Amino acid sequence: MAAHAPPRFSDFIQLSKDLDGLYHQMSLKAGLSDSMLALLYSLCERQSPPTAIELAQEWSLTKQTVHSALAAIERQGITTTGDSPADRRRKLIFLTPSGQALCRERILPILEAERRSFARLTPGERETLIALTAKANQYLKEETAALR
């Protein structure tokens, strides 16, 4: 009987890459780039319009990537911008009626699939998955903090 190799961090990373691949396939099916899908995902879920900087921070994307994706979806009539009432220098991103329809047709089915798949785990499994992933991320952050 062959001995089973213990899990390695590379196994965890491969699972992360597999998940990224699933979202890439969803982006392709939705006719969007990966960054467009991420931004629309956030816009569809939010109760209030975000700024580009907030979206960049939420998705760990560069400002340039966010601005390029936002420019592309604005050209398609999916989003528009407006001044923040709190600070006119800040531009808020809003979904247009076309963007709202796109969310209903292409993004909300993804959100629902996520919810259904996560619900298939037991409550304990969900808690363990979140806790251990957060712990592994924190440890990696600590171990790589001094790297250049």
pLDDT by residue (tens digit) across 79-135? 999 988 887 788 899 999 999 999 999 999 999 999 999 999 999 999 999 999 999
16's tokens: 């992360």
Say if pTM beats, i.e. exceeds, 0.85. no
Tokens of 136: 């592994």
Q: How confident is the model at residue 1 (pLDDT cuts 50, 70, 90)?
A: low
Alpha carbon dihedral 47, 53, 58, 64, in 10-degree steps, equals: 130
Q: Which helix (H) or strand (E) holds 95?
A: strand 91-95
Q: Classify the C-alpha dihedral 91-97-102-107 as positive or negative.
A: positive
